[in-house]
């Protein structure tokens, strides 16, 4: 359609043609670029080259964060690959970050999750911090000197963080923080924390009175106690944080006061794509192992892959993974295009998380008794898969978000 001189809309003089569309650049391209495939390959080769089974099982058994490996990953630019170069990143997008996370988790679920969460929540500093805050923290995170954490959940406020018990009260040029945060990834090992606090206790609704404070490890009044044992992701620390009169200068307020809730929601739009990529990698890694095992294993004089039931299981697993991949990459791509789509992101996280759990479960089944034994990776992948349906918003919370986008609240 076009407008004539009088402003009336008139039909185009020529009918729409495919040639026009191509010339105008209207196209759908599902191919990764060569650079993106190189990033994927480099991430996979890094884990293969640096991790052997013995190391992985020791880290897992001892619940140890693989610190040396993380430092090397930072040195090679994998951690914070999506941060701008001026802060030590590679200037890549969320899609490239998702490719790294997927590749890491495909090689090993526990190592992948631990490495991908080492910079957790530094994105809030990147998106909302002052220049001084960005310059202070981000180069340390990308440079392998600082591990970060985001402290949003509280014992009584998990899925619902619209009101909080943790407070930050202004006293002159300082904020004084009191409260408890729980289930905080990297809680025992992080060098700094982004902490969501209630700064205005009279705000209605309460979430309009929340702010993020940046708090460094070692400050007086801050204690972390590791929550252990847990089902999976044993290389990743999960801790409860207690704040007793923790006093930070006002310069530690992240961005604008009383905008914290909105900042966290926007951050989740980004971080949920990363969790979806973890789930995708875990699903793919489980599938790879199931495929290799069923090709080798013989029962009743036949390879397992000769039984139709095995073939159908593998076909179902591969199909689910491919569907999850399309959602995850599309959500990441949209973010990078500046068209962040919360509905699509929630779909990607919800779907990929379910696929990871189902595929890892089936991978154990296809291994029979061996699948239940720790030496076989699928046991670990199965335990690690589940968290992707819980943190960064449970499966039900994603479904609520999708339904709200479709139907309104
Ligand atoms: C290993 C691990 C790491 C974590 N890392 C972090 C971190 O780094 N930072 C951080 O802040 N938090 C972190 N979390 C916390 C995590 O995000 C929360 O556990 C999660 O959001 C759920 O909150 P909750 O545990 O309080 O469960 P609840 O909110 O009490 O939910 C219990 C059940 O009720 C359902 N439910 C709740 N509300 C609704 C609703 N409106 N509609 C339908 N169903 C509903 C939930 O889906 C769930 O099934 C982590 C958790 C774990 C286990």
User: What predicted TM-score, i.e. pTM, was given to this entire model?
Assistant: 0.94
Distance 401 CA to ligand 1 centre (A): 14
Question: Which residue numbers in the chain have pLDDT < 70?
Answer: 1-26
Atom of ligand 1 nearest to the CA of 230: 1
- The pair phi, psi for residue 256, each rounded to 5°, is -90, 145
Q: Please tell me the predicted confidence (pLDDT) of residue 152.
A: 98
Cα–Cα distances in angstroms (integers) from residue 275 to residues 70, 112, 281, in the given order = 18, 11, 10
Residue nearest to atom 45 of ligand 1 (CA): 396
Distance 185 CA to ligand 1 centre (A): 13
Active-site position among 45, 220, 392, 396: 392
Q: Please tell me the predicted confidence (pLDDT) of residue 22.
A: 63
**Is 392 among the catalytic positions?**
yes
Q: Please tell me the predicted confidence (pLDDT) of residue 26.
A: 64
Atom of ligand 1 nearest to the CA of 395: 47
Residue nearest to atom 23 of ligand 1 (CA): 158
Residue nearest to atom 7 of ligand 1 (CA): 184
Atom of ligand 1 nearest to the CA of 120: 8
Distance of CA 122 to the CA centre of its chain: 12
What is the percent of the chain where pLDDT is above 90? Answer: 92
Pocket test for ligand 1, best of 394, 395, 403, 409 (most atoms within 8 A of CB): 394
Closest residue by Cα to residue 359 from 343, 342, 371: 371
Q: Please tell me the predicted confidence (pLDDT) of residue 29.
A: 84
Percent of residues in the chain assigned helix, strand, coil, to nearest 5:
55, 15, 30
Residue nearest to atom 35 of ligand 1 (CA): 396
């Amino acid at each position: 359609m076009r407008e004539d001189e009088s402003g009336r809309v008139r039909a185009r003089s020529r009918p729409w043609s495919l040639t026009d569309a191509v010339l105008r650049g209207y196209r759908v391209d599902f191919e990764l670029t060569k650079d993106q495939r190189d990033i994927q390959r480099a991430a996979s080769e890094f884990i293969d080259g640096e991790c052997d089974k013995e190391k992985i099982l020791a880290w897992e058994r001892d619940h140890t964060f693989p610190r040396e490996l993380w430092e090397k990953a930072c040195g090679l630019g994998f951690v914070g690959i999506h941060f701008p170069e001026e802060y030590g990143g590679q200037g890549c997008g969320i899609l490239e970050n998702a490719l790294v996370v997927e590749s890491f988790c495909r090689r090993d679920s526990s190592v992948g999750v631990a490495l991908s969460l080492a910079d957790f929540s530094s994105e809030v500093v990147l998106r909302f911090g002052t220049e001084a805050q960005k310059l202070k923290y981000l180069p340390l995170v990308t440079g392998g000197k600082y591990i970060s954490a985001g402290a949003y959940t509280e014992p009584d406020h998990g899925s619902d963080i619209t009101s909080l018990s943790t407070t930050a009260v202004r006293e002159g040029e300082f904020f004084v923080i009191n409260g408890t945060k729980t289930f905080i990834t990297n809680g025992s090992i992080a060098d700094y924390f982004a902490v969501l606090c209630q700064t205005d206790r009279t705000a209605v609704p309460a979430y309009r009175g929340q702010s993020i404070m940046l708090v460094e490890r070692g400050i007086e009044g801050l204690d972390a106690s590791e929550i252990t044992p847990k089902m999976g992701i044993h290389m990743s620390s999960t801790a409860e944080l207690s704040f007793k009169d923790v006093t930070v200068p006002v310069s530690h307020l992240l961005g604008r006061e009383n905008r914290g809730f909105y900042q966290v929601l926007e951050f989740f739009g980004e971080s949920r794509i990363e969790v979806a990529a973890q789930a995708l990698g875990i699903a793919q890694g489980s599938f790879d192992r199931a495929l290799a095992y069923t090709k080798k294993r013989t029962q009743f004089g036949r390879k397992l892959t000769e039984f139709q039931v095995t073939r159908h299981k593998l076909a179902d697993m591969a199909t689910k993974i491919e569907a999850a991949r399309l959602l995850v990459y599309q959500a990441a791509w949209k973010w990078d295009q500046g068209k962040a789509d919360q509905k699509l992101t929630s779909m990607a996280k919800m779907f990929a998380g379910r696929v990871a759990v189902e595929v890892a479960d089936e991978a154990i089944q296809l291994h029979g008794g061996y699948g239940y034994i720790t030496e076989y990776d699928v046991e670990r992948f199965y335990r690690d898969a589940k968290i992707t349906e819980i943190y960064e918003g449970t499966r039900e919370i994603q479904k609520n978000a999708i339904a709200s986008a479709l139907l309104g609240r």
